[in-house]
């Protein structure tokens, strides 16, 4: 499952008077703006029937335990059956979790989602023998098997990836025991998700007109973009006051998640939880370290941008709640969802007719997208899928530029999934998270260039440049800050320390001071920001946003400059799924993430755009 960034976007609700603006219930949303989960299962009853069939197939797989090395035929049958079971399990899980995400208050789908997770654990438990037994097969025997059963060649890369894990794979009985712990290990993330999406509420505030407005996850970023500084301050304090009330509970929940990561790293003989997280993608720790080093080196550029922001907004002090409001006022008109769709599709024309035609049909006809926020709906935005069905996109759409860029972003994920599913067998259909953010942010970059090319108005150009700067600041710089925080938190636990609320707040605030403190007044409440980032419960994930953006900016420039050769390389990258290591896939597409150059180029682009924005606004730096 691909989950997008932690910034949340939502459609604004219109209301008048002094009453709280209520979100619509799910049933009030027009069906045109809802995804078609019926394409997975027409009814819950059919889901239950498929779940029962899956459970009936599990003993067939377990019957191959102890036999993988006996013959090429046994190995092939076991791998094919495992593929079929995993494919069915992922379909069951996708339907259940998406139904639950439609309204987290719905106990029926909460239960179905839990049932799906239990099925996943059963599958993992039954399949636990596969990796140890594969590792026990001598290399010469595997080569003979490939000759005896040519179909096995399809699994060669997958088997090689498993072989690479040999130092970290335990005996079969211990792997089975670890498989049984998976459901329990997901508890910190599940607890946080339920608390954050279903239980946590924020105090209402007064909007620019003095009306009472309920603060929600979906509205929060929109409120931070308000031209009214008082609205921004109220929203900021409403959110962080709420999290601070539960700081000790949230600290204990996050500590449990980190301890889980450290536990699995230790039992699998990794030097650290960070190295354990990077190992599946075969990404050297040096890539992570160089990312942080490059961003630290660019802090003077970030400070230059913050000074520009402070000057344009005419502020004596720049506060943390001043970082998102647009620098150019009154240039952004309301953009309907339909207008956003058409503009995004226009911007993707450089990727070719097939790409655009598939995207248009998926969005407008085939029910890929769940568009608007409703009560209880999961916050944020993501794309997901279940092979070989079409992809799905969850949005909480705002009818503004941010909403349009979020659509472009999630459509990038969906199209990556679509092309992977269309061109790869199940075993290679799922690309790794390291490359997942490339397609999404490449789409955003193409949209930016398209919009910039269409306008000669200085204020409009300034607004677009400001938006692109914010994309780089929030996706490259901010996510690197998050990555550094994760690294420090895990290292602290590995050294025997405790993640108390006070330690987490102090550590996080020091990072904010390092990144922003030369210009920005670091408000005390920002020390609680760690508590609201759901991605921290999927450890060492966020750095991939930063590396993904760096790769995407490089590739988008190649696409626009080279045209057909670069497009062909890029589409082949989308079609390759997980059929090679992620760094190798990107190298074939035209960018080398083992080198620090893509990150440095992205940060240089940030610096150039800051100067261009200052010039456009006629502000001296």
Between CA 443 and CA 450 the distance in angstroms is: 10
**Neighbour tally for 111: CB within 10 Å:** 12
Burial 384-421 (b: 16+ CB within 10 A, else e): bbbbebbbbbbbbbbbbbbbbbbbbbbbbbbbbbbbbb
Rounded to the nearest angstrom, the gap between the alpha carbon of residue 463 and the centroid of all alpha carbons in its chain is 26
Q: Is 410 a catalytic residue?
A: yes
Cis amide prior to 431 (ω within 30 degrees)? no
CB atoms within 10 A of CB 334: 9
Q: Give the torsion through C-alpha atoms of 444, 192, 289, 272, to 10 deg.
A: -140
Closest among 289, 296, 237, 224 to 511, alpha carbons compared: 296
CA distance 123 to 86: 7
Report the distance separating Cα 88 and Cα 97, nearest Å.
14
Given the residues 410, 470, 486, 581, select the one marked as catalytic.
410
Cross-strand bridge partners of residue 212 = 206
Token pair 């998700």 in the structure block, residue = 193
Both tokens of 389, joined, read 């069905």
Q: Is the dihedral of CA 475, 477, 482, 484 positive or negative?
A: positive
DSSP at 219: H
Of the candidates 351, 350, 436, the one whose C-alpha atom is nearest the C-alpha of residue 391 is 436
Give the CA count within 13 Å in the CB-facing half-sphere of 45: 0
Measured distance CA(149)–CA(166) in Å, rounded? 24
501: which residues sit within 8 A by CB, 6+ positions away? 247, 248, 250, 251
Q: Residue 487: how many CB atoms within 10 A of its CB?
A: 20
Handedness of CA 561, 564, 565, 569 (dihedral sign): positive
Q: Which residues contact 358 (CB under 8 A, 6 or more apart)?
A: 415, 418
Task: Read off the tokens for 374.
Answer: 């409703």
Write out the two tokens for 128: 């636990």
Q: Which of 82, 88, 187, 188 is nearest to 126 (CA)?
A: 82
Q: 1: which 2 tokens?
A: 């499952």
Handedness of CA 41, 46, 52, 58 (dihedral sign): negative
| Angle of CA points 179, 254, 6, to nearest 5° | 100
**d(Cα 341, Cα 376) in Å, to the nearest integer?**
25
C-alpha–C-alpha distance, residues 188 and 185, integer Å = 7
State the alpha helices, DSSP H only, in 166-228: 172-185, 187-194, 217-224
Give catalytic residues, as residue numbers: 410
């Amino acid at each position: 499952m691909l989950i997008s960034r932690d910034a949340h976007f939502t459609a604004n609700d219109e209301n008048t008077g002094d009453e709280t603006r209520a979100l619509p219930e799910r049933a009030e949303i027009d069906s045109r703006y809802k995804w078609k989960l019926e394409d997975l299962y027409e009814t819950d009853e059919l889901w239950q029937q498929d779940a029962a069939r899956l459970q009936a197939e599990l003993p067939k797989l377990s019957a191959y335990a102890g036999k993988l090395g006996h013959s090429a035929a046994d190995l092939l049958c076991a791998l094919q059956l495992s593929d079929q079971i995993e494919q069915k399990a992922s379909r069951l899980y996708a339907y259940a979790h998406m139904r639950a995400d439609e309204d987290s208050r719905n106990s029926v789908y909460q239960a179905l989602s839990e049932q799906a997770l239990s099925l996943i654990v059963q599958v993992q438990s039954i399949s636990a023998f596969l990796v140890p037994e594969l590792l026990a097969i001598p290399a010469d025997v595997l080569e003979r098997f490939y000759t005896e059963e040519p179909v096995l060649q399809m699994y060669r890369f997958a088997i090689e990836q498993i072989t690479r894990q040999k130092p970290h794979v335990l005996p079969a009985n211990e792997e089975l025991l670890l498989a049984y712990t998976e459901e329990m290990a997901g508890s910190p993330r599940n607890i946080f998700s339920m608390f954050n999406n279903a239980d946590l509420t924020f105090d209402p505030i007064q909007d620019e007109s003095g009306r009472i407005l309920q603060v929600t996850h979906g509205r929060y970023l929109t409120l931070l973009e308000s031209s009214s500084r008082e609205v921004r301050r109220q929203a900021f304090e409403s959110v962080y006051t709420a999290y601070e009330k539960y700081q000790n509970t949230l600290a204990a929940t996050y500590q449990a998640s980190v301890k889980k990561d450290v536990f699995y790293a230790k039992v699998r003989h990794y030097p650290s939880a960070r190295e354990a997280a990077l190992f599946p993608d075969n990404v050297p720790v040096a890539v992570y370290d160089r990312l942080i080093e490059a961003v630290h080196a660019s802090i003077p550029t970030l400070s230059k941008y913050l000074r520009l922001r402070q000057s344009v907004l005419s502020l004596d002090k720049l506060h943390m709640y001043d970082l998102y409001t647009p620098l150019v006022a009154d240039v952004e008109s309301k953009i309907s969802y339909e207008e956003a769709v058409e503009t995004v599709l226009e911007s993707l024309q450089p990727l070719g007719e097939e790409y655009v035609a598939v995207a248009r049909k998926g969005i407008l006809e085939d029910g890929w997208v769940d568009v608007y926020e409703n009560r209880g709906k999961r916050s944020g935005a993501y794309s997901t899928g279940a092979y070989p069905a079409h992809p799905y996109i969850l949005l909480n759409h705002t009818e503004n530029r941010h909403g349009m860029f979020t659509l472009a972003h999630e459509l990038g994920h969906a199209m990556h999934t679509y092309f992977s599913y269309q061109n790869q067998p199940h075993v290679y259909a799922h690309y790794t998270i390291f490359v997942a953010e490339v397609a999404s942010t490449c789409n955003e970059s193409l949209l930016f260039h398209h919009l910039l090319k269409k306008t000669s108005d200085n204020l409009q150009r300034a607004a677009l440049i400001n938006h692109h700067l914010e994309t780089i600041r929030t996706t490259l710089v901010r996510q690197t800050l998050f990555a550094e925080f994760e690294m420090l938190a895990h290292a602290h636990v590995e050294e025997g320390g405790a993640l108390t609320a006070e330690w987490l707040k102090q550590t996080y605030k020091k990072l904010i001071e390092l990144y922003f403190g030369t210009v920005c007044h670091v408000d005390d409440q920002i020390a609680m920001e760690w508590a609201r980032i759901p991605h921290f419960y999927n450890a060492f994930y966020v750095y991939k946003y930063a590396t993904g953006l760096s790769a995407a900016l490089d590739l988008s420039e190649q696409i626009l400059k080279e045209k057909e050769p670069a497009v062909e390389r890029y589409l082949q990258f989308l079609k390759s799924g997980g059929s090679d290591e992620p760094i190798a896939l990107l190298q074939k597409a035209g960018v080398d993430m083992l080198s620090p150059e893509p990150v440095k180029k992205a940060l240089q682009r940030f610096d150039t755009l800051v100067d261009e924005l200052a010039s456009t606004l006629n502000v001296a730096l």
